[in-house]
Amino acid sequence: MVVSRRRRNERKEINVFFNYKRVKQVNTIKHLGIIMDTKFKFREHLTYAAEKCTKLMISFCKSTKITWVLRHTVLKMLYEGAILPLLLYGAPVWIDAMKYTCNIRKYIRVLRKINLRFAKAFLTTSNETLCIVADTTPTYLKL
C-alpha cells in the first residue's frame, strides 16, 4: 500500500519485488484489527465494524422472539459486553473520521437497531427517544 498526501487522482503502480516476485499493491490494509486505506479515511473500518455488529445483533434478536423474551438488563449486558467494544475498538486511531456525517450515520444505524430491540418500540420512533427509553448513550457521543 502506498501512502501519500498527494491529491492527484493519477494512479501509479510501483514495482516492488520480494524474492524475485512482484508484490501486489493494495488500497487497504488491516493492521491490529483496524482497516486503513491510503488516505487514512477509515471508511472501510467503520463499515466493517457496523456490519459485524449488525450480524451479532441479528443473532441476539433471534433470542428475543415473542415466546422467549430476554429481560432489558440481559440485553444491556450483551450490548455493553459484545457490541460496544466492537464499535469502539481502536477509537483513538480513527476518531478524526467521525467528523464526517456519513460515518456518524453508520454508527447511528447500528445503535438504532439495538435500541429498537431494547425498547421493543415501533420503527417510527425517533433515535433520541429510543436512546432515552433504552437508557443508552449514542456511540458517537461516547467517542
pLDDT of 48 > 90? The answer is yes
Q: Which helix (H) or strand (E) holds 22?
A: strand 21-22
Within 10 A of 103 (CB to CB), how many other CB atoms are there? 21
Q: What is the pLDDT of residues 79-117, one digit of tens each?
A: 888 888 988 898 888 998 888 888 888 888 888 888 887
Q: Of 59-63, 110-114, 117-121, 130-134, which gets the smallest average pLDDT?
A: 59-63
Q: Is 84 helix (H, G, I), strand (E, B) or coil?
A: helix
The closest alpha carbon to 104, from 115, 93, 114, 94, belongs to: 94
How far is Cα 104 from Cα 43, in angstroms, rounded to an integer? Answer: 11
Averaged pLDDT, 20-29: 88
What's the chain's average pLDDT? 83
| CB 114 within 8 Å of CB 84 | no
pLDDT of 54 > 60? The answer is yes
Domain boundaries, the chain: 42-142
| CB 50 within 8 Å of CB 106 | yes
Q: Which residue has the cell 417510527?
A: 124
